[in-house]
Structure 1
Amino acid sequence: MDRISDGLETKAGAGSDIAALFAEFSTAFEEFKRTNDQRLGEIEKRGTADGLLDGKLERLNAVLDGHKAALDRASAERGRPALEGKGALANGEYKEAFSAYVKRGEEKALQTGVAGDGGYVVPGEVETEITRLMTHISPIRAIAGVRQISASVYKRPITVTGPETGWVGETASRSETDSQVIAELSYPTAELYAMPAATSAFLDDAAVDVGQWIADEVNAAFAAQETTAFVTGDGTNKPKGFLAATTVAEGSWEWGKLGYVATGTSGALPSSNPSDVLVDLVYALKSGYRQNASWVMNRKTQGAIRKLKDSDGNYLWQPATSADGRASLMGFPLVEEEDMPNVGANSLSVAFGDFRRGYLIVDRQGVNVLRDPYSSKPYVLFYTTKRVGGGIADFDAIKLLKFGAS
């Protein structure tokens, strides 16, 4: 347990008592609001706040972040499904053979799972478990559109503009109209790998659930790598992130580019009515996208926005209403994504949009495991790979906040 001054504490290792963690989180947020109200009152009266209050507020921000991280871990552990030996199996014979391959290198019963490039396809429930675990810790995967494919590239036709239409009288002449414009979006998959290691003694333990062990070992590595790519990836041997798209001021938006709203101040929110730019960003998004929209930003940016109020004195940022829920900003769910840039000159630090329609993740079916008992004796290495791609699906469904003059 890490303690900080002012009687506040962060319980990052508080275990899996979700109700208790949520209660502590709610208490910390109430203290945050009281402290920030006091700070704002001093600024209104004297034009500046006591530095001690600023310091306490930053510590409270850290407390809130710590409690939120603990809640996320506890929720992920509670949501983890049982695997080997703990439920019905879709293909028990193949699963048993896969376990024999991982533990002892036996291959004869695995011919139905032979991959063309060597190694073996993990049982279906293990593959599903890996995806489920990654969803818990990969924020973009949790809100984006996801499609499973059997090929290496997914191509998707999309109508950029529909056919021209118009009203006409019963006997009036009909002029020729423009036809619709169709574009093709392509999502190539790239190989993502992890290489967990185990000793022979560990693998010989009859109690070891090899499917769960593989999933536990690779999911964090897979999730961290793919999440970064979904945000900032350049598309070379990895998915193309939404921040890698060409951006343009919202007033000049066109298909193929992401629109942004500028704060008007380099590296900061406006000093006067700072929340107005957030309202502008919300309404830059068309109504059909707003109903399922989410905010995406990192922890530091969220810490700054957490202090904002509306004209009636209500905080724009609100904590989750349940232990497994999300915080909200102006009534829309907020997703914390550490790969989003910190606030800086001309940074695109806040995204807002319907990511289910705006960003598509493609998973090629199958997770392969290649057993290597030779390269790192006495350890046995398991070269585990999956193929994943991603890219923008609708350039009108995501808008960005640019911390710049224009």
Structure 2
Amino acid sequence: MDKIMELRDKRVKLWEEAKNFLDSHTDEDGKLSAEDAAAYEKMEADVVEMKKAIDRLERQAAIDRELDKPTSKPITNQPENAKPAGGFRATDEYKQDMLTAMRTRFRNISNVLQEGNDQQGGYLVPVEYDNRLIDVLNEENIMRSLATKITTSGEHKINIAATKPAAAWIEEGGALTFGDATFDQIMMDAYKLHIAIKITEELLYDNAFNLESYVIEQFGKAMANAEEDAFLNGDGKGKPTGLFHETLGGQATCTTNTANISADDVINLIYTLKRPYRRNASFIINDQTISALRKLKDNNGAYIWQPAVIAGEPDRLFGYALHTSQYAPAGGAGKPILAFGDYSYYNIGDRGSRSMQQLRELFAGNGMVGYLMKERVDGRLILPEAVQILKVKGGA
């Protein structure tokens, strides 16, 4: 391909030289001398021949690409019926065979499971399981309900407008001024999160025990807790970068007037956030700080806390929704205590499906079976100004 581009550049230059030669050697009647005509025809012939050479190389490259394609695909044992929409992981057969494999310590495996087979004994979670696990994560993890979720297949680049051009008034006939529009990039990777549980063989072999619900619930809650902690407090080293990160999280431009939070501090925080972000803004706060906020009153002695009037709706503070998390910082001198912003600018990147693996021999001696669930995920606030952080007065 580099050779083709090189020849194209040479052909363009050669044609420009031929046209310039013709312009400079033509007399007033548009005629050339016999010697100049021969020279021009030679240059023109070279341009035509170079086009033929380029065409040959392009045909050669096309043939090479065709020959590089695989001539066959691996043979796999699949049911005779047509593959259903969503793949075999979405079928009831796959789900039942997954449960059978788990209860028999993966000794009884049917052909339906071959789609998810790997050399380590791992199996892709059936589609229904995966969706229900996401439901658990969304319910337990406040950041998954507030942030923007994307699915990535590799390292993901997010383009950010670093600076924007500004308009300026000029006098009639005055000189124009030009502003620069610059752009930056944020990279999202995928960090591995795993959860392992142990199940006694008695429970595993007892069909009366709802193993399916137990596994999904335990995995879902554990994953949700680990994710929410990382999405809020992660340092970006082997885990996502949290919303409260000192330099890569929200902007910590507000500080309380005293060691205790007041209504004035909350108002200052709200109006530090730029107006466009306030449209979809809400608070994130630790459970321990709620007690102090619920006691805040206005000048008329009325509590500024607004309890939700509809079941399932969040409480409100100064008209904005308030979300609580046990992983949000609890404050302390110089420490963050409250976040306010539009959390859709926090991106959560999921890398593919979750997988389950049986730990065959690790717990064999004590009559238990282990199961391991793994996922790869990253999170990053892509626009720090969209979230403002309130810190407690005192400390560095």
CA distance in structure 1 between the partners assigned to 2:236 and 2:322 by the alignment: 26
* Equivalent in the alignment of 2:136: 133
CA contact (8 A) 1:164 1:180 kept: no
The one of 123, 126, 139 equivalent to 2:126 is: 123
* Equivalent in the alignment of 2:17: none
Deviation at residue 165 of structure 1 after TM alignment? 4.1
1:124-273 matches, cutoff 5 A = 124-151=127-154, 153-166=155-168, 172=173, 175=176, 177-246=178-247, 258-265=251-258, 267-269=259-261
CA distance in structure 1 between the partners assigned to 2:279 and 2:119 by the alignment: 45
CA contact (8 A) 1:95 1:123 kept: yes
Cα 1:329–1:194, aligned 2, differ >3 Å: closer, same or farther? same
CA contact (8 A) 1:185 1:393 kept: yes
Q: What RMSD in Å do the two structures reach over aligned CA positions?
A: 2.4
Deviations 1:138-194 (A, max 9, x none): 12222222212233x32211112224444567x746635233111111122111111
Q: What runs of 5+ residues in structure 2 fail to find an aligned partner?
A: 1-88
CA contact (8 A) 2:200 2:369 kept: yes
Deviation at residue 369 of structure 1 after TM alignment? 0.6
CA contact (8 A) 1:268 1:344 kept: no
SS in 2 for 1:360: strand
Deviations 1:272-293 (A, max 9, x none): xx31121111011111111111
Deviation at residue 199 of structure 1 after TM alignment? 2.6
Deviation at residue 124 of structure 1 after TM alignment? 1.5
State the identity as a percent: 29
Are 1:277 and 2:285 an aligned pair? Answer: no
CA distance in structure 2 between the partners assigned to 1:92 and 1:174 by the alignment: 72
Are 1:364 and 2:351 an aligned pair? Answer: yes
Cα 1:259–1:346, aligned 2, differ >3 Å: closer, same or farther? closer
CA distance in structure 1 between the partners assigned to 2:356 and 2:90 by the alignment: 19
Deviations 1:9-55 (A, max 9, x none): xxxxxxxxxxxxxxxxxxxxxxxxxxxxxxxxxxxxxxxxxxxxxxx
**TM-score, normalized by length of structure 2?**
0.70
CA distance in structure 2 between the partners assigned to 1:115 and 1:161 by the alignment: 48
* Equivalent in the alignment of 2:44: none
CA distance in structure 1 between the partners assigned to 2:182 and 2:326 by the alignment: 37
Cα 1:331–1:298, aligned 2, differ >3 Å: closer, same or farther? same
CA distance in structure 1 between the partners assigned to 2:169 and 2:208 by the alignment: 73
* Equivalent in the alignment of 1:298: 286
* Equivalent in the alignment of 1:380: 369
CA distance in structure 2 between the partners assigned to 1:116 and 1:245 by the alignment: 42
CA distance in structure 2 between the partners assigned to 1:175 and 1:102 by the alignment: 72
**TM-score, normalized by length of structure 1?**
0.69
Greater Rg over alpha carbons, structure = 2
Are 1:312 and 2:305 an aligned pair? Answer: no
Q: How many residues align?
A: 302
CA contact (8 A) 1:165 1:177 kept: no
CA distance in structure 2 between the partners assigned to 1:208 and 1:127 by the alignment: 21
The one of 340, 344, 352 equivalent to 1:352 is: 340
Deviation at residue 214 of structure 1 after TM alignment? 2.3
* Equivalent in the alignment of 1:342: 330
The one of 378, 400, 404 equivalent to 2:389 is: 400
* Equivalent in the alignment of 1:86: none
Q: What runs of 5+ residues in structure 1 fail to find an aligned partner?
A: 1-88, 248-255
Deviations 1:63-102 (A, max 9, x none): xxxxxxxxxxxxxxxxxxxxxxxxxx93223223322322
CA contact (8 A) 2:116 2:123 kept: yes
CA distance in structure 2 between the partners assigned to 1:173 and 1:221 by the alignment: 65
Deviation at residue 212 of structure 1 after TM alignment? 2.8
* Equivalent in the alignment of 2:94: 94
